[in-house]
């Protein structure tokens, strides 16, 4: 009987030893140089590759929250997270062991990691990045970025007092010319850097200020021609060459010279008009606040250009001035009644 009890105790001890053997073997494997070196190398390479990719997403796109939600199994992947929680602990440990063996301890993992990094670097070389900052904007504005000469581009909305990053395709190492349109401001043309790490940063409104002229008649002259419309002629002299533009059916409205019709008249200009007209609801306020544009459209002006305005025997001449700050935008030209 005693021998039988001893055999049972020995068997139980052997069985207990068998249950603990996997962890002992795992610790022994981790302490072994032959297995520890590939494991640590693969872990470091995967950590570096993932950190580098997420760093680019954080600094060059607005998609970090979406990527973070994907990695955390949030949003549309919440159901997958729910299913994974149904897996037993033993199954989870088996899956972790399989990943350890097939990925972290696999000698081929560095090849795939390097290939993924090379592919990622090639991918970001095909993207251009523009960052728009609007620290003082009180309203959201639509933004369109397109290649110069293209009919359409990428259109998004920049929230008030926020920043917006926009990415678009280009050929690797190319420096294309692009056109940026922000609602209410003159368009901006610029050339991108050929290097992916040099993103183009534009501030609203400072980066979009350029010489633009706003022409209007003074109050009495505007009231005189409201009922009897005339033709307004514009002469622009640039480097000794003069081109003519016109506005048909002109009735005293404001006229933009050097920008598109959708540019907004700044608040400091409208405040001056209110003081001149002595009331904010004056009919001329609406006419001046929605300026027209000549036909054909006047191209962007340059400092030093000479602009002559003529209509119905009245005229004004002005030299285009630089725009040091937003308070100097636009350059207003008021046509007075000729003596």
- Predicted confidence (pLDDT) per residue in 110-123, tens digit: 999 999 999 999 99
Domain finish residue from 77, 99, 124 = 124
Residue 281 lies in a domain: yes
| 113: its two tokens | 């990691």
Residues 83 and 178 in one domain: no
Residues 42 and 118 in one domain: yes
pLDDT on residue 1: 42
From 59-63, 83-87, 93-97, the region with the lowest mean pLDDT: 83-87
Give the rounded percent of residues in the chain with a pLDDT score beyond 90: 55
Residue 228 lies in a domain: yes
Residues 61 and 92 in one domain: yes
Residue 202 lies in a domain: yes
Give residue-wise pLDDT tens across range 137-185: 888 899 999 888 787 888 889 988 888 999 888 899 899 999 999 999 9
Residue 8 lies in a domain: no
Beta-sheet strands, E only, within the chain: 127-133, 141-147, 154-158, 163-169, 177-182, 188-191, 200-203, 213-217, 230-238, 241-250, 255-257, 306-311, 314-319, 331-335
pLDDT on residue 33: 57
Is residue 130 very low, low, confident or very high in pLDDT (cuts 50, 70, 90)?
very high
Residues 148 and 260 in one domain: no
Residues 229 and 284 in one domain: yes
Is residue 18 very low, low, confident or very high in pLDDT (cuts 50, 70, 90)?
very low
Residue 11 lies in a domain: no
8-state DSSP, 197: T
| 328: its two tokens | 């100097």
Residues 28 and 52 in one domain: yes
Residues 143 and 32 in one domain: no
Q: What is the CATH number of the domain that holds 150?
A: 2.60.40
8-state DSSP, 102: I
Residue 3 lies in a domain: no
Domain finish residue from 124, 144, 165 = 124
Residue range(s) defining the domain that contains residue 133: 127-208
Residue 234 lies in a domain: yes
- The single residue listed with the structure tokens 């979009």 is 208
Does the pLDDT at position 245 exceed 60? yes
Residues 50 and 87 in one domain: yes
pLDDT on residue 153: 82
Question: What are the residues whose beta carbons fall under 8 Å from the beta carbon of 74, sequence distance 6 or more?
Answer: 68, 81
Give residue-wise pLDDT tens across range 232-244: 999 999 999 999 9
Residue 200 lies in a domain: yes
Is residue 3 very low, low, confident or very high in pLDDT (cuts 50, 70, 90)?
very low
Give residue-wise pLDDT tens across range 36-69: 688 889 999 999 999 999 999 999 999 888 887 7
Does the pLDDT at position 93 exceed 90? no
Give residue-wise pLDDT tens across range 202-232: 999 999 999 999 999 999 999 999 888 999 9
Name 317's bridge partners: 308
Is residue 339 very low, low, confident or very high in pLDDT (cuts 50, 70, 90)?
low
Buried b (16+ CB within 10 A) or exposed e, 142-167: ebbbbbeeeeebeeeebeeeeebbbb
Domain finish residue from 208, 238, 268 = 208
Phi, psi of 169 (to 5 degrees): -75, 150
Domain count of the fold of the chain: 3
Residues 28 and 75 in one domain: yes
Q: What is the pTM of this model?
A: 0.73
Structure-model confidence comparison of residues 214 and 2, the more confident one:
214
What's the average model confidence in pLDDT over 274-292?
A: 92
């Amino acid at each position: 009987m005693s021998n039988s009890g001893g055999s049972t105790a020995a068997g139980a001890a052997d069985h207990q030893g068998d249950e603990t053997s996997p962890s002992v073997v795992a610790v022994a494997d981790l302490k072994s140089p032959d297995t520890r070196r590939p494991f640590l190398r693969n872990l470091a390479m995967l950590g570096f590759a993932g950190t580098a990719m997420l760093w680019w997403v954080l600094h060059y796109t607005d998609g970090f929250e979406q990527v973070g939600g994907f990695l955390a199994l949030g949003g549309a992947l919440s159901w997958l997270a729910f299913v994974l929680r149904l897996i037993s602990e033993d199954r989870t440990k088996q899956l972790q062991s399989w990943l350890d063996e097939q990925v972290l301890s696999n000698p081929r993992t560095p090849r795939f990691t390097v290939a993924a990094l090379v592919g990622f670097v090639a991918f970001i070389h095909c993207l251009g990045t523009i960052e728009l900052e609007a620290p003082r904007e009180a309203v959201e504005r639509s933004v369109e970025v397109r290649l110069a000469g293209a009919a359409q581009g990428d259109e998004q909305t920049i929230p008030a007092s926020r920043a917006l990053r926009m990415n678009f395709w280009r050929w690797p190492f190319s420096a294309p010319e692009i056109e940026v349109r922000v609602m209410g401001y003159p368009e901006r043309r610029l050339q991108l850097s050929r290097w992916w790490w040099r993103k183009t940063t534009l501030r609203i409104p400072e980066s979009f200020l350029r010489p633009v002229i706003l022409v209007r008649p003074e109050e009495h002259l505007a009231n005189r021609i409201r009922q009897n419309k005339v033709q307004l002629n514009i002469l622009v002299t640039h480097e000794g060459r003069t081109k003519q533009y016109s506005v048909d059916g002109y009735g005293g409205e404001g006229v933009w010279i050097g920008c598109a019709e959708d540019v907004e008249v700044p608040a400091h200009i409208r405040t001056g008009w209110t003081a001149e007209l002595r009331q904010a609801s004056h009919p001329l306020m609406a006419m001046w606040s929605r300026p027209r544009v000549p036909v054909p459209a006047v191209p962007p002006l340059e400092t030093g250009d000479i602009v002559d305005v003529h209509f119905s025997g009245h005229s004004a001449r002005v030299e285009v001035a630089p725009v040091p700050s937003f308070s100097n935008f636009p350059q207003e030209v008021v046509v007075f009644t000729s003596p």
